[in-house]
Amino acid sequence: MILRFALVVAIGASITFVLTPLIRAWAIRRGLYDLPEARRVHRIPTPRLGGAAMFAGFMAALGAAVVVPWGVPQMQRFPIESFRLGLLAAGATLMWVVMTIDDLKKLSARFRLIIQILAALIAVGPYLWEWTLHPAVNGVDVGARGIIATAFNTPFPAPFNQINFHTLWPPLAIGFTIFWIVGMTNALNWIDGLDGLAAGVTFIAAIVLAIHTYSLGQYSLVLVPLALAGACLGFLPHNFHPAKIFMGDGGAMVIGYSLAICSIIGGAKLATALLVLGVPLLDGVWMIIWRRVRGAGASVSDRAHLHHRLLDLGLSQRQVVAFYYTVSSLFGSLGLLLPNSWWKLGALAILTSLMIGLLFYLARKQPQAQKSA
C-alpha cells in the first residue's frame, strides 16, 4: 500500500518537475514575466505561469489515483467517491483556466471572486441540487453526493459534541463550505509572495492531511492530498529562492482550492487543517480586518502581509520561508498527535494568540508597511 502512495506522489512530482522548465522557456520566449515593483520582493523579471506544470502534475496524479486498478481491497473506490473526485477535477480546472487568464490579462478582483464561488459551487452542487429538488428527503445522506462539510466535531460533551449543519439547516452546510473553499483559496494565494512559500506550505499541509486521512482508514482518499503534495514537490526545486519561475494565480489558487477540498472530502478535518495552515489563514483574516479599518478594499495590493513585515524586519527570504515551514510542521504534527479535541482547541488558541501578538507587534513597529504600493 505504501508503495502505491509513493507512486502517486512520484507521478505528480515527476510530471511537474519535467514540465516546469519547458513552460519557463516558453514564457521567456513570449515575454511573460512578473516585473519588479514596489510591493513585490523579487529584483529581476521572472517568468510566470509555473502553475500550468503544477496543474498538469496534479491532474495526472489524481487521474492515476482514480483509474488505476490498485488491486488492494482497502483501496477500492466507491462510485460516489470517484464522482466526487470528478467534481474536484472540474472545479480545479475552472480555477486554473480563469486564473491563468488573470495571470496574462489581470482580471478584476470581483470577477475572480465570482469564479472562486462558482468553483466552490461545483463541489457542493450535487448537495444543493438534491436539497432544492427533494427537500422532503433531506434526512438522507445527501452530502455524500457532493463535497461538503456537513458537520464538525467540538470538544464539548454530548449533545454538543458535534455541530451538524445538515441537521440544523442544509443551507448552512452549503454556505460554510463555500466560505471555507473561497477562504482557503485566497489564503494560499496571499502567501504566494516569497519564493517557495506557497508550494512548501501546501506540501506540508497535504502530507499532514494524508496522514490524518490514513489514520481514519480512508485509504483510497489518502491518494488525493498525496497527488497535490507530489505536484508541489516537483515545483519546489524550480521555485526556491532565487526562483527561476513563479506559479502565478493559476497555480496558487488551484492548490488552495484543492487543499480546501482535501480537508473536507470524506468528512471534515477542520481542526487539523486550521492548525497546519493557521499562519496563512490568520494572516488573511488580519489583512482583511486591517484594510477595512483603514478604509481600503480587502483585495488591495500592499506589503502588509506577515511575510512582507518579517522581510522588513531584516529576515531573508529563506529565513521567512523557514519560519512558515517550521510553524506549519509543528502545529500540523500537534494536530495529528494530540489525543482529543480539547487539546487541539488549546493548540489552536496558542497559535492564534502568538500570531495576533506577532502581527500587532509588527504593525506597531512598521506603521508604514500597510500603505498600498
Known binding residues for Mg(2+) are 189, 249
Q: Is 60 exposed, middle or buried (0-12, 13-18, 19+ CB in 10 A)?
A: buried
User: Strand pairing partners for 372?
Assistant: 302
For residue 41, report the phi and psi dihedrals to the nearest 5 degrees.
-105, -15
Show binding-site residues: 189, 249
CA 230, CA 223: separation in Å to the nearest integer?
10
CA-wise closest residue to 192 among 260, 253, 115: 253
Cα-atom radius of gyration of the chain, to the nearest Å? 20
CA 353, CA 322: separation in Å to the nearest integer?
20
Q: Where do we find the cell 466552490?
A: 120
For residue 46, give the DSSP letter. E
For residue 148, how far is the Cα from the chain centroid? 16
Total residue length of the chain: 373
C-alpha dist (Å) from residue 341 to 192, 275, 337: 31, 12, 11
User: Strand pairing partners for 163?
Assistant: 152
CA 187, CA 182: separation in Å to the nearest integer?
9
Hey, what long-range contacts does 175-181 have (CB within 8 A, 24 or more apart)?
176/149, 177/120, 177/123, 177/124, 177/147, 177/148, 177/149, 177/264, 178/117, 178/120, 178/121, 178/124, 180/149, 180/260, 180/263, 180/264, 180/270, 181/116, 181/119, 181/120, 181/123, 181/257, 181/260, 181/261
CA 173, CA 37: separation in Å to the nearest integer?
41
